[in-house]
Amino acid sequence: MITFEEMGNDKVIRYGFIALLFTGALFLLASFAGELKALRFIGQDAQFTRTITVSGSGEAFVVADTAEFSFAVIEEAKTIADAQRVVTETSNALLSYLKDAGVEEKNLKTTSYNISPRYDYQNNRGFPTGERVLIGYEVSHWVSVKTKKTDKAGEMIAQLGSRGATNISSINFTVEDEDEVRREARKEAIEDAEDKAKQLADDLDVRLVKVVNFYESGGGPIYFAREAAFGMGGDMEKGAPPVPELPVGENTVMVNVNVTYAID
């Protein structure tokens, strides 16, 4: 026969067991929350609280393999149709020449096509009346060009000028695929940062444990660039046009890094 005293002891044991389970669950939840908080700091090991951060820079050089420039055909006429006819005929002839010279069609792109009215002001005894008078229209067609034939860029520009282009500008020599060059610059930047970290650790009398954070930045390649305006509407003398010298030069790719090391 179970006495009241035994029943009371069973309740105490049961409640104590429940309280123990509840306390354990709270401890697990607190630990899990701490782990989640630590995971928010991506790239840094939560166990390392002592760190040093150093910067490094690197650069690599490469000869440009791509030439880029733009040209325009601009015409003024009494009517839109007359201006468009001249622009269309000239533009088509220039595009045909570039394709024959080896420029791929995918590297020829219209960047602007504009039709604008042109006005003049009537004068009355030397004073403008404020009334605008339509005197004609201007049509312009801008095209960007990209070619791997960097050694032929000067000749292309000369030919475009002699064949009717009224403006040639934004001449750049670039590197089409700079991944390998950037990798070389990054490697140099990391080595620079590592040398600085070792020197700093030696000065502080600490030991480098491992990299816990890394950040890279770079301003991109520095291109050789030149503005030019060759061949104003075919006004050059008859005969072969002079070919401008366009030095390709070197492009510089720069990379900067910040590296954080755990120390002990």
Q: Which of 174-178, 205-209, 228-232 has the highest mean pLDDT?
A: 205-209
pLDDT at res. 132: 83
> What distance in Å separates the CA atoms of residue 195 and residue 150, rounded to the nearest whole number?
39
Residue 190: per-residue pLDDT: 96
pLDDT of residue 40: 39
Percentage above 90 pLDDT, the chain? 55
Q: Give the pLDDT of residue 15.
A: 61
Q: Considering the entire predicted model, what is its pTM?
A: 0.61
> What pLDDT is recorded for position 39?
40
- What average pLDDT does this structure show over 22-47? 53
Q: Which of 63-77, 99-113, 114-128, 225-239 has the lowest mean pLDDT?
A: 225-239
DSSP 124-188: ETTEEEEEEEEEEEEEEEEEEEEES-GGGHHHHHHHHHHTT-SEEEEEEEE-S--HHHHHHHHHH
Residue 254 CB coordination number (10 Å)? 18
Residue 214 has pLDDT above 70, yes or no: yes
